[in-house]
Amino acid sequence: MAVTVITHHALRDEAAAQEWDAAMYERLTAARGQTGWIGGQLLKAVNDRTLRTLVGTWESRADWETWHEEPAFRETRERLEGLQSRPSESTWYDVVDERRGA
């Protein structure tokens, strides 16, 4: 059964948000080649330009944990965390059903 992790990020300001978005784009591009990666979305709140939500779906939580040990992930960790105004908050979900348009 696949799992989805939803992580909320609050960024320092709009300048930090631009740099954070660029770093996260690099991270998501690198994730595409990881074992267990199914897909993800980076969401920007329409009512607050400094809030981001990352939705990542993996075949297993173990695959996600392995990804967190990869150099491509670790290289961006400090950079991203330094642009945030507070620690990220994550919640895990089991994927019960998934449907997408044709």
In-domain check, residue 15: yes
Q: Report the distance separating Cα 79 and Cα 83, nearest Å.
A: 7
CATH at residue 48: 3.30.70.100
Between CA 77 and CA 20 the distance in angstroms is 10
Report the number of distinct structural domains present in the chain.
Answer: 1
DSSP for 36-79?
TEEEEEEEE-SS-TTEEEEEEEES-HHHHHHHTTSHHHHHHHHH
- Does residue 101 lie within any of the structural domains? no
- pLDDT tens-digit series, residues 13-22: 999 999 999 9
Range of the domain at 20: 3-94
Assigned domain for 102 exists: no
How does pLDDT run across 42-92, given as a tens digit for each residue?
999 999 999 999 999 999 999 999 999 988 888 888 889 999 999 999 999
Task: Confirm whether 99 is domain-assigned.
Answer: no
